[in-house]
Structure 1
Amino acid sequence: MKMTREQLHDLVWSMPMTKIARQSGVRDQHIARACDGAEVSRPRAGYWRKVENGKSVTRMALTNDRYAASDVVTINASGWTIS
C-alpha cells in the first residue's frame, strides 16, 4: 500500500481502518502506526459509531509541520516508511 500523506489522511477519515486493512491486505495496526509516525490524524474511538448514529463529528485537518502532504507513505506487512 503506497500513497501520499494527504491520500492516507483522506482514506482513514473515509472508512474504518479495519475495512481499509481488509481491502489492502495489511493489518490495521500497521496503518495506525503509519498514521501516528507520519503525523496523519486519524479518528479516535467512537468516531464511526457516532457517524453510524448520525451524530455530529469533526474531521481533523492534516498538519504539515514535519512532513509535506505530498510525502509518500508505504505500508506493508513489515511496517511502514515515509519518503
Structure 2
Amino acid sequence: EVIERDLYTTAVLSGNRNFDGRIHPYAKQAFLASPPLVVAYAIAGTIRFDIEKGILGQDQQGNDITLKDLWPSDEEIDAVIKQSV
C-alpha cells in the first residue's frame, strides 16, 4: 500500500533510536515524543492530529475526549513526584 499509493509514512516513538529505517524501511521520518503523546498519536492514527484541540474519541455518553482530558494536571504530577521522594 505504501509503495502503490506513494504514501509518506512517519513514526512517532518514545525511544532515542530514530534513525532512518529503524522502525520500518518505508518509514520516511521518525519523531521523538513522550510515551503519552506516542499513545495519543497512535489513537489518532496520524501525525496531522492537533494535540491541543483534536478529538481522540468519545466516552460512553458520546462526549468528545481530547488529550487534555487524559493528561495529568501539574498538581497531579507534583503529587506523584512528592510521593516518590
Provide the TM-score with structure 1 as the length reference: 0.25
Larger RCO, structure (CA 8 Å, separation 6 or more): 1
Higher share in strand: 2
Larger radius of gyration between Structure 1 and Structure 2: 2
Higher share in helix: 1
Provide the TM-score with structure 2 as the length reference: 0.25
